Structure 1
Amino acid sequence: MKFNYLYLPLLLLVLGCNESKNSKTFTLNNKTQKSDSEFFVEFEPLSKKYVDQKKNDIEYYYTKLIGTPDFYGQFLVAKNGKVLFEDYKGYAYYEKKEENRKDKPLHIASVSKVLTAAVVLRLVDEGKIGLDDKVSKYLPNFYFDDITVRMLLNHRSGLRHYGYFIETDVKWDRSKRITNQDILDLINSGKIHLESKPDTRFAYCNTNYALLALIIEKVTKLRYHEAMDKLLFKPLGMKNTFVFDYEKHHDTVSQTYKASKLRLAFDHLDLVYGDKNIYSTARDLLKFDLATYSDKFFSPKLRKEIYKGYSYEAKGEKNYGLGIRLREWKEAPTLTYHNGWWHGNTSSYITMKNDKLTIICLSNKMTHKTYQTKKFLALFNPKYPIKLDNTEVSNGANE
């Protein structure tokens, strides 16, 4: 399977495009859409009765758990590729009175890791990257020779979070914004020690994905921003998704707020990409999610590597695959998801392959309500050990 670096068909074509003899149709947002995409997957249609009932149920619990008047953000639930419910609230840019809407990108925080991983994994399917290749193959003179690409993806590298080591080990000047290359240079200086021996334990670490972004650049010979756009966003029709560029975007993007509506400033960590700094919408993330069901997007062999756990040093249901979090329940299908938290932005992306279910919540005003999304699983499969009537608020740590 080869990337077409010049052009890939769009995943979703707007109604009214010329239909080729091979095009197929599907329902999105109550409209019939046409797709010529090589990533198109046809799902079983849902009955009107089922859709109406689920919409009512979702709306009731959404209003109760998330969509209160103080919520700023986007919420979407889809099954079998069909949107059952979506809502957009609050302000993307309060000072300009710019409201949140379906086509307004929000910072998706660590859900960005899912998209970074997707491009790396597509390049693995291409044969351009090996999962068990050493990082030093792509980033010459990398200081820790035992670390592999797979260890970056599943957070088993033993590397420390750059946000911590620049404070404790090198006393970074906060008036200077740090870059991915700065992070690599600091690691290669030998001044930064490992948190643990590579591949001995799981430790969620943004440094891993900052390095994966550099590997994407080395392999594609494109800036990460361009590579993500060319290899993922454009092919999937993610028209409202982009990588943040401070000089270009800082006063035009959606802003981020404390719960009190106080706007938060950008800081010295806001140039680092790969681990964060992608802006997207709930609808665009749904387009991405639908593509992941296609064997042309991820090969069946690679998909098995992505959605399995790698860390069993400690007992428990929590685990991590390749760019995706897991809750490995004994009596129910594994929960596959990713959360995010950066400044006042919180995000949650749930993709349940067995039930063909997608739940997305994005917020640009600080709230833990975003992490309530997993509760909506109870509306679709009674096997999930989830209760809707008891609110469970996460503290957001390591999301």
Structure 2
Amino acid sequence: MNTIKKTNILHICLLFLILGSCAKEKKKVEVQDAQLPKDTLPKMKPLDKLEPKLTANYITAKKNAIDSFYKKNWPNNSANGSFLVAKNGQIIYEKYEGYANYRAKKSINKSTSLHIASVSKVITATAILKLVNADRIQLDQKVNTVLKEFPYPDITIKTLLNHRSGMRNYAYFTDRDKTVWDRHDILTNQDILTIMATKDIGLEFKPDTRFSYCNTNYAILALIIEKITKLPYKEAMDKIIFKPLQMKDTYVFDYERDKDTAVTSYKGNKVEIGKDYLDAIYGDKNIYSTPRDLLKFDRARNSPTFLTPALQSQVYKPYSNERKGTKNYGLGIRMVNWETGQNFYFHNGWWHGNTSSYITLRKEGVTIIALSNKFTRKTYDVRKLAPLFGDYPFKLKDE
């Protein structure tokens, strides 16, 4: 009898051990699952409102005027890149000319992904704004609450977006002192953060006291995107922007994977420009795209569902007001603000031989995109097309 009781007690103890072990294992799995990034990211949506269809007469008139400008701006087929003008999402004019690679005689076409340089900032800002809109972060949140090693306690996400942080340009503080960085090594976004945290890289000025355009701001914003989404920047951009908008020819450049296959860039005399130690940095640059993909992106940014009205109004507000003038900067967008009340929104870019111009005439529903992989300032002259569509009083001093 005693033997039976002892056996029962042993069985009961063993059962409790097994159940307890299962409960611990279940709890462990639940904790692991909780730590995995869930697909709850805010996503861009295509413009869902029905836009007025353009008449054939309107298209013909505008097309002729744009073609005249094109031939004057890039005479004798001298352009080397992509160009598009659209209204209400409908393409009025597009042109693809020159070579993605001169040696291979590979022509540029509508699917050729070109480096959009600092126009990448608009896209990085868009991902940040979607995270703000979804209450994943706040505009006035201190950066060091997201990136713990960030050494400047007064810098906010907003002052990164509008270039009022006071940080120094990473291209300068990594270039001039070998004790800070050896240019034989490829620099990464994390390297920039680590250097600022450990090498006593002082600020250029007190945060939010003035405007100073600085690529470091957007390299740090890319790290914030990674920290909040728990995804590499490339994957986060795919999930938040590129895939939802079917931007099939747009990607974030990966130095190791893409350095030998991405479209080559050239000096104005067609001499090839190689990669350097700064070519792995993303957020401020290093997105490749096409005018057609950027048109999808622009129309989505002009959708009523893009952001809440309150947040949208902050995006297009001018922040660099220390010195009176027409040129200004919002949250990831450049602007010209005339005293008449007319506003012109755009962003230009330049990296190596790549130049880019993104223009969004929000009131008129017009998108103008110009990209080139052979260095030329003529890319920026496409702003002269704005008066074709609205009251944009450009003068020589504004160019």
TM-score by length of 2: 0.87
Which structure 2 segments of 5+ residues have no match?
1-37
1:42 equivalenced with 2:76 (yes/no): no
Report what 1:145 is aligned to.
153
Which one-letter code corresponds to 2:358 in the other structure? Y
1:172 equivalenced with 2:181 (yes/no): yes
After TM superposition, the structure 1 = structure 2 runs for residues 317-396 of structure 1, keeping only pairs within 5 Å, are 317-331=326-340, 333-381=342-390, 383-386=391-394
Report what 2:39 is aligned to.
5
Which one-letter code corresponds to 2:92 in the other structure? L
Which one-letter code corresponds to 1:130 in the other structure? Q
Q: Deviations over 1:269-296 (max 9, x none)?
A: 0000000000000000000000011122
Q: Distance in 2 between matches of 1:323 and 1:67?
A: 33
Which one-letter code corresponds to 2:345 in the other structure? T
Which one-letter code corresponds to 1:137 in the other structure? T
Q: Distance in 1 between matches of 2:48 and 2:86?
A: 16
**Contact map agreement 1:111 1:348 (CA 8 A) in 2:** yes
Which one-letter code corresponds to 2:281 in the other structure? V
After TM superposition, the structure 1 = structure 2 runs for residues 206-355 of structure 1, keeping only pairs within 5 Å, are 206-331=215-340, 333-355=342-364
Q: 1:10–1:194: structure 2 CA closer, same or farther, 3 Å change rule?
A: closer
**Contact map agreement 1:308 1:321 (CA 8 A) in 2:** yes
Q: Post-superposition shift, 1:384?
A: 1.2
Q: Post-superposition shift, 1:171?
A: 4.6
**Contact map agreement 1:41 1:291 (CA 8 A) in 2:** no
- Give the secondary-structure state (helix, strand or coil) at the position aligned to 1:327: strand
Q: 1:294–1:195: structure 2 CA closer, same or farther, 3 Å change rule?
A: same
Q: Distance in 1 between matches of 2:202 and 2:213?
A: 16
Q: Distance in 1 between matches of 2:111 and 2:378?
A: 22
After TM superposition, the structure 1 = structure 2 runs for residues 125-164 of structure 1, keeping only pairs within 5 Å, are 125-164=133-172
RMSD value, Cα: 2.0
Report what 1:57 is aligned to.
65
Q: Distance in 2 between matches of 1:9 and 1:160?
A: 32
Hey, which of these two has a bigger chunk of helix by percent? 2
Q: Distance in 1 between matches of 2:242 and 2:282?
A: 16
**Contact map agreement 1:154 1:322 (CA 8 A) in 2:** yes
Q: 1:84–1:332: structure 2 CA closer, same or farther, 3 Å change rule?
A: farther
Q: Distance in 1 between matches of 2:322 and 2:335?
A: 15
**Contact map agreement 1:348 1:362 (CA 8 A) in 2:** yes
**Contact map agreement 2:44 2:300 (CA 8 A) in 1:** no
Q: Post-superposition shift, 1:8?
A: 8.8
1:75 equivalenced with 2:75 (yes/no): no
Q: Distance in 2 between matches of 1:240 and 1:385?
A: 35
1:104 equivalenced with 2:75 (yes/no): no
- Give the secondary-structure state (helix, strand or coil) at the position aligned to 2:174: helix
Q: Deviations over 1:107-139 (max 9, x none)?
A: 000000000000000000000010000000110
Q: Distance in 1 between matches of 2:347 and 2:362?
A: 14
- Give the secondary-structure state (helix, strand or coil) at the position aligned to 1:145: coil
- Give the secondary-structure state (helix, strand or coil) at the position aligned to 2:349: strand
Q: Distance in 1 between matches of 2:260 and 2:278?
A: 17
Q: Distance in 2 between matches of 1:67 and 1:284?
A: 26
Q: Distance in 2 between matches of 1:181 and 1:246?
A: 15
Q: Distance in 1 between matches of 2:304 and 2:96?
A: 32
Report what 2:10 is aligned to.
none
1:86 equivalenced with 2:86 (yes/no): no
Q: 1:8–1:128: structure 2 CA closer, same or farther, 3 Å change rule?
A: closer
Q: Post-superposition shift, 1:175?
A: 1.1
TM-score by length of 1: 0.87
Q: Distance in 1 between matches of 2:161 and 2:197?
A: 20
Which one-letter code corresponds to 1:294 in the other structure? S
**Contact map agreement 1:10 1:237 (CA 8 A) in 2:** no
Q: Distance in 2 between matches of 1:373 and 1:5?
A: 39
Q: Post-superposition shift, 1:301?
A: 1.6
- Give the secondary-structure state (helix, strand or coil) at the position aligned to 2:93: strand
Q: Post-superposition shift, 1:68?
A: 4.3
Which one-letter code corresponds to 1:5 in the other structure? D
Aligned length: 362
1:204 equivalenced with 2:204 (yes/no): no
